Amino acid sequence: MTKNGKVVLITGANKGLGKEIGRQLGALGYTVVLTARDEQAGRAAAAELVAAGCEAYTVRLEVTNPDDIGSLVSYLDTTFGKLDVLVNNAGISIEWDGKPTDADKVRRTLEVNLIAPYAITEALVPLLSRSDDARVINHSSMLGSIGTAESMWKQVGGFMAVGYSTSKAGLNMLTLIQSKTLANKGIGVAAAHPGWVKTDLGTQAAPMEVAEGASTVVDLVTIAREKFPNGQLWHKGERMPW
């Protein structure tokens, strides 16, 4: 497989959409760094990709842990000297357990789904600035889209848990803000809605297979620079309302 010299970091990539995005990008010649909070799970995922012919590595990252983020930056600097693409993929949905949500669940969800992507992106700006085509993709959800919430309420309102939906709405605004503030450093920022996908988070009731679900992020990583939808939320090649 021909390498393209680009380094991609994917958070929460020991399973689900993160691992599949790594597999698809690795097959396209990207050097893939999969992060996982469980080191063993990260090693197993990277080994799977390597066995499939990809160049893949793993780093331990609990996304809410500032020390882990610091170690990740050092690792990337020492090993590659730059970062081309950051996919903020790690996410949780801890409110769909049949019990009422509460402030603690909302707080934990915001920490993982919103504050961590902010902190990780900020920490990686110096390494992204060394790329000639730097991109940040935030894995969002239509469940955070205020623009569709009202018209789609009958279909999706039952899935709109307070922590999850506000975290993704916040991630959308973070995407918009950083697409402006990081533009002068040559860093593009976009958000992706994968669809409702069969993963541990999406459950087996979801209609979409993981390979198809990964395609929106893979498209945003591979699309020509001049067509990159900076500051937008995308799903399968189309712009979605915020």
Ligand X SMILES: NC(=O)c1ccc[n+]([C@@H]2O[C@H](COP(=O)([O-])OP(=O)(O)OC[C@H]3O[C@@H](n4cnc5c(N)ncnc54)[C@H](OP(=O)(O)O)[C@@H]3O)[C@@H](O)[C@H]2O)c1
Residues that bind ligand X (CB under 6 A): 12, 14-18, 37-38, 61-64, 89-92, 112, 139, 141, 194, 196-197, 199-202, 206
Shortest separation between residue 130's beta carbon and ligand X, angstroms: 25
Q: Which is nearer to ligand X, 131 or 142 (CB)?
A: 142
Shortest separation between residue 176's beta carbon and ligand X, angstroms: 18
Shortest separation between residue 100's beta carbon and ligand X, angstroms: 21
Shortest separation between residue 89's beta carbon and ligand X, angstroms: 5
Residue 139 pairs in a beta bridge with 192
Residues 6+ apart with CB under 8 A from 191: 137, 138, 139, 140, 171, 172, 175, 232, 233, 234
Q: Which is nearer to ligand X, 131 or 144 (CB)?
A: 144
What Cα–Cα distance (Å) separates residue 117 from each residue in 96, 120, 121?
22, 5, 6
Q: Which is nearer to ligand X, 29 or 118 (CB)?
A: 118
Shortest separation between residue 2's beta carbon and ligand X, angstroms: 28
Q: Which is nearer to ligand X, 106 or 131 (CB)?
A: 106
Instruction: Annotate 154-200 with DSSP letters as a single string.
Output: HHHGGG--HHHHHHHHHHHHHHHHHHHHTGGGTEEEEEE---SBSST
Q: Which is nearer to ligand X, 131 or 216 (CB)?
A: 216
Structural element, H or E, at residue 134 = strand 134-139
